[in-house]
């Protein structure tokens, strides 16, 4: 087995030692000795040592009640520190002769491959300049770390980077370690768990902070390197106005099942975004005004700046004045409804034009080296972020629109919209969309729910077009769902086009996505209301929860294929919006591989995807890490556009049809049809307790009921905590077994070698199975599950072993991830700290369930810390 890199191991050891110092200082040597006994016992138990297992159990059993919380915190914080060390290791300074990370050279390597494949330099450069990648930041309740702790973790990473230099003196080294000791002490003395749920506005502020602290720096760096790679390969530059990567957000706009997101909240978040954007550009301008003190300028710039000895400064100071007015107005308008003064910047071109004028003048006057510095970075930010920072999507459930229209038609004496069939609805909606008179009379008094829907539409109508992204309709089922939103927006006074996007989530809805879009495109007048491409959102989370990942993945693939065919036939551009989560069970996994495994033609220079929960921090929380991930997105979308994967062979399709049919049967046979499943789920996992964890602003359930009422995120989160990882693999065990029994093993091998879609699915399945642990899951059952339900747990663990066996048979390995020994070694390191957390969590759950009112007790706090620790150790939750 490969060993962890010596520098990573050294950093992990150092951070652990400094944490130990802090713990000793507060709790004494005897308590720290218990931590060490538990750690050594867990390590021995993992290696099969009976003495190690006994030491682990005896020490845990001997903990006093008042030791449970600090012990849980100790293992939680070690895992967080290990994460920091691992993240830093990915971006650490390379020594002479060391290979650069794959992410750093992926684009340059691809450009050379494209030339070798016969693509001309001009066509490559044009395609790079036209790339349209939008990453949509969402605040799903999976980020378990408080923002104040995240800031301290980032500061620790900065000190590890400072420690990277090989020429540090002993004094400098000691100063860094002292700063690390202080930071770790600050972390230890800060509560891990929020006392209350964040509001949607607080979630939005967290998203803005990611942009301010990381992406603001990372994006221009990525585009600078992209321009350099393009110039080396083709001799051409990335255009000044190119924005191949942009950002959008659902924070403050996603009201699906979240009563805390109101029209007032959406309006406030839109204004906050404008204020933050103005403030960030003001910081850039202060630097530019200080730097651009030169006099030589073009006549074009002098005509704009007036008679000034320092024309660049004169022009930029006027822009700075307008940005200050914009920022101050946005901040005041949050508190009271103020009209925007005439000097408020309303259009992105008002920001870009003075900057572009300075850029052209500097180049024309022989000062291109100055123009291509900080000014170019600001221009790149202006193109990508603009005055509105991140476009805000609106999302609402289709039933809320239908209910609003039913109330309106009933009031008007037209009947009940929600009782009409699809042709009746379409006839009514088309008629009203084409009618110039308003639908609603002034005296209409809607119910509170309908009033909120209408108020949201009015906020969208009044916002600048560049401030908003798409209006996403969750649980969309027919063409009428799209027209219903268009009509409500029209009634609210929307004068400009806005993309209205159906989200297809369940298995049936995915299968019906093609016919629904075809119906829309054939409706008279619809094409005239279409804004740019036809956008369609593919739901990964709920489709997997509905049918299991085997059937869901194939349904998602086929839906995309059909949508590509339909839009091509209608000569309409298609933009697919991928609602991917952080975990395999929710469509997550490595973005680069996922993009390259999409159906051919589905990534045509455009790609839109959600970045959810804690994955935002892991992928974009630090500038260097963000650069690596943005590089991967750029390269993958370019490659999928110009070198798409092959079409699947007919017999591969037939095999996938059978795998999906067997998979959904096995999955639903357990999750839907087993009479004891829901009760087992609630006893065996911390699902009920997760509802008390103040993770996000949105409730864990859409409504009361069983598994079907649970959101996809806590559904995955609960199984992750117990290490059964059920949603990510259930169904695959039977599907693969049946295929092998039918003699299809050779075909599966060919599919894995030649079809990126199938290869990626099996790779992600292997990864999640490597994280699963039947022994840990069994411990939860033994401590928490009543005797009559325990046979179901035995059956599920047996299915897990069958899934492992099937994947090993397919990959020809003796051990999962044998091809990636460094990953296995990283898992081994984490398990030493995860195992005690799992064992403590089972005990904490048992004790918590015996208490009358567990809230606010130290035991409850320890339980919630264990949840956070396991999430940190596994690096994903929901």
Q: HEC states along 667-717?
A: HHHHHCCCCCHHHHHHHHCCHHHHCCCCCCCCCCECCCCCHHHECHHHHHH
Residue 458 CA to residue 460 CA, distance in Å, equals 5
Tokens 């359930």 found at: 701
**d(Cα 244, Cα 217) in Å, to the nearest integer?**
16
CA dist list (Å): 205 to 211, 273, 279, 326, 459:
10, 9, 14, 18, 19
| Residues classed as catalytic | 140, 545
If 0-12 CB within 10 Å is exposed, 13-18 middle and 19+ buried, where does residue 171 land? exposed
Give, in order, the Cα–Cα distances in Å from 715 to each of 305, 718, 732.
Answer: 60, 6, 18
CA distance 827 to 815: 13
Question: Half-sphere exposure of residue 463, counting CA atoms within 13 Å on the CB side?
Answer: 33
* Residue the block writes with tokens 């740019």: 532
DSSP 771-801: H--HHHHHHHHHHHS-GGGHHHHHHHHHHHH
Determine the Cα–Cα distance for residues 334 and 338; give it in Å rounded to an integer: 9
Best CA proximity match to 468, nearest among 532, 392, 394, 535: 392
**Cβ atoms 5, 828 nearer than 8 A:** no
CB-CB contact of 251 with 138 (8 Å)? yes
Q: Which two tokens stand for residue 562?
A: 């059909």
Calpha distance 541→544 (Å, rounded): 5
Q: Report the C-alpha gap between 874 and 723 in whole angstroms.
A: 9
* Residue 172 CB partners (closer than 8 Å, separation 6+): none
578 is written with which tokens?
């991928």
Q: Across the chain, which distance is largest between two alpha carbons, in Å?
A: 88
C-beta separation of 215 from 247 below 8 A: yes
- Cα distances (Å, whole numbers) of residue 735 to 548, 739, 740, 810: 11, 6, 9, 12
Asked whether 833 and 19 are in contact (CB, 8 A), the reply is: no
Asked if residues 807 and 839 have their Cβ atoms less than 8 Å apart, the reply is no
Using CA atoms, how far apart are residues 486 and 394, in angstroms rounded to an integer? 13
Query: What's CA 222's distance to the chain center, in Å?
Result: 19
Concatenated DSSP letters for 603-618?
A: -SSEEEEEEETHHHHH
In the structure encoding, which two tokens stand for residue 570, read together? Answer: 């209608």
CA 71 – CA 681 distance, rounded (Å): 27
How far lies 162's CA from each of 178, 466, 633, 813, in Å? Answer: 13, 40, 28, 41
Question: Beta-carbon neighbour count of residue 812 at 10 Å?
Answer: 8
């Amino acid at each position: 087995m490969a060993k962890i890199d010596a520098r990573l191991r050294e950093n992990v050891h150092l951070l652990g030692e400094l944490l130990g110092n802090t713990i000793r200082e507060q709790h004494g040597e005897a308590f720290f000795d218990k931590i060490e006994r538990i750690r050594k016992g867990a390590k021995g138990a993992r290696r099969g040592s009976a003495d190690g297992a006994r030491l682990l159990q005896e020490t845990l059993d001997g903990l006093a009640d008042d030791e449970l919380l600090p012990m849980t915190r100790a293992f939680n914080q070690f895992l967080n520190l290990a994460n920091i060390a691992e993240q830093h290791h990915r971006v650490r300074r390379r020594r002479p002769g060391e290979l650069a990370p794959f992410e750093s050279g992926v684009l340059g390597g691809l450009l050379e491959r494209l030339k070798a494949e016969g693509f001309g330099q001009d066509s490559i450069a044009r395609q790079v300049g036209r790339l349209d990648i939008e990453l949509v930041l969402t605040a799903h309740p999976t980020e378990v770390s408080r923002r104040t702790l995240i800031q301290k973790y980032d500061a620790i990473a900065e000190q590890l980077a400072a420690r990277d230099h090989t020429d540090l003196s002993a004094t400098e080294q000691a100063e860094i370690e002292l700063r690390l000791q202080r930071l770790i002490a600050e972390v230890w003395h800060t509560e891990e768990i929020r006392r209350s749920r964040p509001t949607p506005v607080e979630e939005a502020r967290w998203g803005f902070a990611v942009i301010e602290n990381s992406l603001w720096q990372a994006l221009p760096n990525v585009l600078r390197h992209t321009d350099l790679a393009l110039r080396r390969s083709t001799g051409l530059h990335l255009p000044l106005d190119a924005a191949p990567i942009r950002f959008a957000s659902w924070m403050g706009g996603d009201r699906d099942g979240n009563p805390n997101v109101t029209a007032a909240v959406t309006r406030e978040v839109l204004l906050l975004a404008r204020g933050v954007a103005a403030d960030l550009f003001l910081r850039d301008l202060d630097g530019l005004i200080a730097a651009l003190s030169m006099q030589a300028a073009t006549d074009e710039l002098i005509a704009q700046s007036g008679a000034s000895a320092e024309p660049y400064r004169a022009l930029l100071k006027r822009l700075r004045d307008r940005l200050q007015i914009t920022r101050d107005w946005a901040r005041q308008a949050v508190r009271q409804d103020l009209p925007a003064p005439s000097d408020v910047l309303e259009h992105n071109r008002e920001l870009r034009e003075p900057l572009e004028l300075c850029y052209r003048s500097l180049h024309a006057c022989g000062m291109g080296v100055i123009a291509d510095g900080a000014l170019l970075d600001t221009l790149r930010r202006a193109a990508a972020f603009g005055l509105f920072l991140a476009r805000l999507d609106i999302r609402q459930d289709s039933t809320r629109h239908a209910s609003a229209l039913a109330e309106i038609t009933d009031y008007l004496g037209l009947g009940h919209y929600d009782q009409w069939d699809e042709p009746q609805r379409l006839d009514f909606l088309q008629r009203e969309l084409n009618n110039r008179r308003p639908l609603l009379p002034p005296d209409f008094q809607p119910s509170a729910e309908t009033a909120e829907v209408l108020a949201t539409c009015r906020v969208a109508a009044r916002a600048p077009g560049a401030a908003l992204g798409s209006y996403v309709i969750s649980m969309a089922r027919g063409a009428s769902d799209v027209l219903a939103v268009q009509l409500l927006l029209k009634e609210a006074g929307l004068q400009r086009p806005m993309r209205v996007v159906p989200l297809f989530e369940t298995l049936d809805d995915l299968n019906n996505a093609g016919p629904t879009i075809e119906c829309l495109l054939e409706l008279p007048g619809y094409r005239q209301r279409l804004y740019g491409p036809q956008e369609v959102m593919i739901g990964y989370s709920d489709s997997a929860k509905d049918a299991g990942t085997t059937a869901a993945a194939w349904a998602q693939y086929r839906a995309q294929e059909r949508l590509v065919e339909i839009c091509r036939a209608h000569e309409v551009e298609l933009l697919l919006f991928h609602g991917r989560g952080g975990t395999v069970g929710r469509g997550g996994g490595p973005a680069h591989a996922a993009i390259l495994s999409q159906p051919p033609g589905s990534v045509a220079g455009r790609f839109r995807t959600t970045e959810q929960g804690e994955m935002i921090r892991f992928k974009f929380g630090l500038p260097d890490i963000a650069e690596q991930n943005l590089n991967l997105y750029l390269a993958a979308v370019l490659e999928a556009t110009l070198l798409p994967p092959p079409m699947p062979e007919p017999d591969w399709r037939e095999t996938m049809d059978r795998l999906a049919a067997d998979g959904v049967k096995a999955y639903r046979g357990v999750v839907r049809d087993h009479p004891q499943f829901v009760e087992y789920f609630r006893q065996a996992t911390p699902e009920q307790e997760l509802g008390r964890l103040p993770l996000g602003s949105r409730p864990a359930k859409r409504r009361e009921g069983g598994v079907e009422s649970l959101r996809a995120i806590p559904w995955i989160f609960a199984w992750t905590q117990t290490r059964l990882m059920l949603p990510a693999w259930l169904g695959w065990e039977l599907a693969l077994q049946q295929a092998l029994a039918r003699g299809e093993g050779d075909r599966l091998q060919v599919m894995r070698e030649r079809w990126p879609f199938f290869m990626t699915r099996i790779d992600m399945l292997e990864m999640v199975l490597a994280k699963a642990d039947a022994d840990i899951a069994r411990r939860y059952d033994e401590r928490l599950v009543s005797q009559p339900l325990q046979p179901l747990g035995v059956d599920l663990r047996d299915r897990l072993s069958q899934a492992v066996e099937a994947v090993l048979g397919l990959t020809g390995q003796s051990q999962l991830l044998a091809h990636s020994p460094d990953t296995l070694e990283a898992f081994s390191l984490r398990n030493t700290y995860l195992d005690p957390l799992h064992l403590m969590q089972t005990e904490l759950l048992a004790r918590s369930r015996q208490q009358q009112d567990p809230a606010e007790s130290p035991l409850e706090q320890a339980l919630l810390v264990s949840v956070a620790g396991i999430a940190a150790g596994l690096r994903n939750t929901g």
